[in-house]
Structure 1
Amino acid sequence: MKENINILKNLSNEEKKIFNSLQNEGPITKSEISRLTEIKLTTLNNTMEILEKKRIIVREAIGQSTGGRRPVLYDVNLLEFYIIGIDISRVYTQVIIANLKMEILYKEMFNMDIFCSPQETVRRIYEIINKANQNLRLDSRNLVGVGLGTVGPLDIKNGIMISPVNFSALGWSNVPIKEMLEKKLNCPIIIENGVNAAVIGEYFYGIGKGVENIAYLNCGIGIRTGTVLSSKLMRTISDDEDALGHMIVDVHGEKCKCGNFGCIESYSSINAIIKKFSLEVKKGRKTIINKQLKNIGYKDICIAAERNDNLSKEILIGAALILGTGLVNYINLLNPGLVILSGPLIINSKLFYNECIKTVFKKLHPDRMKKIIFSRGGFFKENAISIGAVALVIKDIYN
């Protein structure tokens, strides 16, 4: 597969410009391509002929006439080329197959249980991709690339998951995940922090188009944050993604796994919510959830809250209050024009999202509120990280 993986990366500068214009704006006419790329017509005709022969671009349709011959509309080839996007989190792993315009052709996920060691996770990813290849009858020669968005902290240069915590399975320390996947899939992998991948996807192809400053929060077992400032991805020194999660909101508060006290993650993460719920039940509080305490998960609490279970509502509202307070601090520091909240807690609890935003409205200066758009899930919702991983591959073509 490796010899075919550079089919789009090896394009000339003119070919990349044409591909870029069609990937973002197509189907469009040749005159529109010329305007967007600023390539002279003779060069454009020759270059487009080469791209058509390679089947990278196709004649999509006939446009509306403006008085003369009806123009031909061109687009990237959405039927043959495909990209694989992988999202590895502590809660689940998801694999998607997408075309050149981020449209999902196939999607499958599995929960990250106690059996999902790094080796088992890679094996399951490989199985899903094989199944997708069979179901979609994909030609491996048309695979553009594979992107991976995963939990940090990461050594991105060497593709190593350094010391992520709170996986259910053992073995998730100093994992050469990039190398493991490359050996199994026999092709190069582009790796990035999951939330960075998500915010990149939203910035280029989703709700963040045209917004220079974006804050993206993934609320799950950790509070993970990806940020675009002045149209550039902001990185921490060690490429951590949990800076907001370890913002201290109570110096005398709960002890956090990081060693400090009163971090947001100690109150507003999945594990913190389950822990608080369990403590309250042990104190004698009542709930409509009819399960053994050890088997109650965050989804049970989210569902119960929607059914007006007082304890579940109280726990989620309290957690949202803390996250919302931290988010106000984050907004004051970075001044984003768009704030996207996503992740398992947001997707599964409208109450949690609404209460978080309500807190922001109460605590943030009204003048600043007028300049911010809030989104629950963004454009790509629960697929944001895996779609973002696909976007990494597309952006790598241009770079």
Structure 2
Amino acid sequence: MQKTGDLALVKKINTAIVLEAVLKNAPLSRAQISERTGLNKATVSSLIQDLIDSHLVVDIGPGQSSGGRKPYLLLFNSRAGYAIGIDLGVNYIRGILTDLEGAVIAEQELPLRTHEVDTVQQQLFSCINKLKTVIPESPYGLVGIGIGVPGLVDEKGSILYAPNLAWKHIPLQKTIEEHFGVPVTIDNEANAGAQGEQRFGAGRGIANQIYVSVGIGIGTGIILNKELYKGAAGFSGELGHLSIDVNGKQCRCGNQGCWELYASEKALLEQAESLGYTELEALIDAAENGDERVRALFHSIGEWLGAGIANIVNVFNPDVVIIGNRMSRAEAWIGSAARETVAKRSLGQLHERLRILFAELNDQSAVRGAAYYAISHFFIKIKSVH
């Protein structure tokens, strides 16, 4: 009896190995997969046929011959299913539909003008439904939904505390799963942003990176040795609430002098009100048109941003710090101030090899990372079934 179980487990493991080879290195022939994985050709052929029958791999016909028969090449079928990623911001909801390799098929974005839980959930339902309507015909359809949120999330996908939404103990994963009937993954939006940049953006191939999400608040996603670091209870990365002014402004979190009170989009807009501006886009336009008062305001925000990043550099010694979310649009006006401040305030040995980058995905880092969560969950399920 045990032998049968062992054989089934071995087949699952080998299937996962073969699928991973196709995902990372396609187009490949069966012989090339055998060479890369160390599995014999008969085993590879059998497993590939299972994956073809499951619509996950497609045979695209003969490739170039190296002397003998032309090999038949295999590709992962990225359109076998689709994932939805959602970035629930403080003042927006952003959604995308992707294929199983994370390529964006459709997008939705709407302003968020209330934080009342039921209303926000209805807007989330509406955003997801609009993306669902454009899913092409496919074997697996919608495989899952990933959501990034600005707050602390437990292992059950409940939002324990989101200070900038004034939410506590909201069972969002359960609500979304019951409504749509597919697996839902929920994480802090800065963690999702870090995953998005690592997989698809400026963080590709970099072992140690800190993603700094600068929106209405500030959050950080910490990747060490290519793995997302979540801390003992899963709540790491709340560096927006790092105290940088002992007797500073009161924060919604209950602390004083939190970094996000001085370096976030909200901090920018509070100071810009006296200049007659209420939106980030208008401020960027003004800076582009030579408004020196606005440029000086951006420069000040960049300095505050650099002060906090210097603390991060001194603690984590990362290869790169990636600045993302909505304030990444202002790179031209905050970048030099942030970099100069980090250079002044971090230890020379730690700053020597450091690069400060702006998100390659601009303000889509979190939504791309959220979709990746849904895709990863699907692959884990698929690999456990075969």
Task: Specify the alignment match of 2:298 in structure 1.
Answer: 316
Shift of 1:203: 2.8
Letter in 2 for 1:393: A
Letter in 2 for 1:371: R
Alpha carbons of 1:358 and 1:193: their partners in 2 closer, same or farther (altered >3 Å)? same
Task: Specify the alignment match of 1:131 in structure 2.
Answer: 130
2:362 aligned with 1:363, yes or no?
no
- Aligned positions, number: 370
Question: CA-to-partner distance for each residue in 1:141-172, whole Å, 9 max, x for gaps?
Answer: 433222222121122x22211221233xxx73
Shift of 1:43: 0.8
Contact 1:202 1:388 (C-alpha < 8 Å) held by counterparts: yes
**3-state SS in 1 of match to 2:190:** helix
Alpha carbons of 1:129 and 1:258: their partners in 2 closer, same or farther (altered >3 Å)? closer
Query: 1:312 and 1:62 mapped to 2: Cα distance?
Result: 60
Alpha carbons of 1:273 and 1:131: their partners in 2 closer, same or farther (altered >3 Å)? closer
Question: CA-to-partner distance for each residue in 1:319-360, whole Å, 9 max, x for gaps?
Answer: 110110110111111011122110111124531233212322
Alpha carbons of 1:365 and 1:31: their partners in 2 closer, same or farther (altered >3 Å)? farther
Contact 2:240 2:258 (C-alpha < 8 Å) held by counterparts: yes
Query: 1:80 and 1:300 mapped to 2: Cα distance?
Result: 42
Task: Specify the alignment match of 1:327 in structure 2.
Answer: 309
Shift of 1:263: 2.2
Contact 1:215 1:336 (C-alpha < 8 Å) held by counterparts: yes
Task: Specify the alignment match of 1:388 in structure 2.
Answer: 369
Which stretch shifts more, 98-107 or 238-247? 238-247
Give the TM-score, by structure 2 length. 0.87
Which stretch shifts more, 138-147 or 386-395? 138-147
Query: 1:139 and 1:122 mapped to 2: Cα distance?
Result: 28
Alpha carbons of 1:180 and 1:348: their partners in 2 closer, same or farther (altered >3 Å)? farther
**3-state SS in 2 of match to 1:173:** strand
Task: Specify the alignment match of 1:300 in structure 2.
Answer: 282
Contact 1:215 1:338 (C-alpha < 8 Å) held by counterparts: yes
Which stretch shifts more, 36-45 or 242-251? 242-251
Percent identical among aligned pairs is 25
Which stretch shifts more, 89-98 or 297-306? 297-306
2:248 aligned with 1:253, yes or no?
yes
**Aligned positions of 1:147-186 closer than 5 A:** 147-155=146-154, 157-167=155-165, 172-186=167-181
Shift of 1:51: 0.7
Runs of 4+ in 1 over 6 A off after TM superposition: none
Task: Specify the alignment match of 2:39 in structure 1.
Answer: 39
Which stretch shifts more, 322-331 or 133-142? 133-142
Task: Specify the alignment match of 1:120 in structure 2.
Answer: 119
Question: CA-to-partner distance for each residue in 1:29-49, whole Å, 9 max, x for gaps?
Answer: 323322333322111110101
Shift of 1:240: 3.9
Letter in 1 for 2:164: N
Alpha carbons of 1:128 and 1:264: their partners in 2 closer, same or farther (altered >3 Å)? closer
Letter in 2 for 1:53: D
Letter in 1 for 2:79: L
Give the TM-score, by structure 1 length. 0.84
1:268 to 240, 257, 263: 263
Query: 2:257 and 2:124 mapped to 1: Cα distance?
Result: 37
Contact 1:213 1:228 (C-alpha < 8 Å) held by counterparts: yes
Question: CA-to-partner distance for each residue in 1:91-146, whole Å, 9 max, x for gaps?
Answer: 221221111211011111111112x6333333333333433343343448433222
Contact 1:95 1:108 (C-alpha < 8 Å) held by counterparts: yes
Task: Specify the alignment match of 1:142 in structure 2.
Answer: 141
Contact 2:149 2:187 (C-alpha < 8 Å) held by counterparts: yes
Task: Specify the alignment match of 1:222 in structure 2.
Answer: 217
Contact 1:224 1:241 (C-alpha < 8 Å) held by counterparts: no
Query: 1:395 and 1:245 mapped to 2: Cα distance?
Result: 28
Contact 1:268 1:320 (C-alpha < 8 Å) held by counterparts: yes
Task: Specify the alignment match of 1:374 in structure 2.
Answer: 356
Alpha carbons of 1:398 and 1:205: their partners in 2 closer, same or farther (altered >3 Å)? farther
Unaligned 5+ segments in structure 1 are 1-10, 282-286, 288-292
Query: 2:337 and 2:35 mapped to 1: Cα distance?
Result: 47
Shift of 1:242: 5.4
Query: 2:316 and 2:146 mapped to 1: Cα distance?
Result: 28
Task: Specify the alignment match of 1:352 in structure 2.
Answer: 334
Unaligned 5+ segments in structure 2 are 1-10, 382-386
Q: CA RMSD in A?
A: 2.5
Query: 1:191 and 1:314 mapped to 2: Cα distance?
Result: 38
Shift of 1:233: 1.7
Shift of 1:241: 5.7
Query: 2:32 and 2:258 mapped to 1: Cα distance?
Result: 52
**3-state SS in 1 of match to 2:131:** helix
Which stretch shifts more, 26-35 or 216-225? 26-35
Task: Specify the alignment match of 1:193 in structure 2.
Answer: 188
Query: 1:332 and 1:247 mapped to 2: Cα distance?
Result: 14
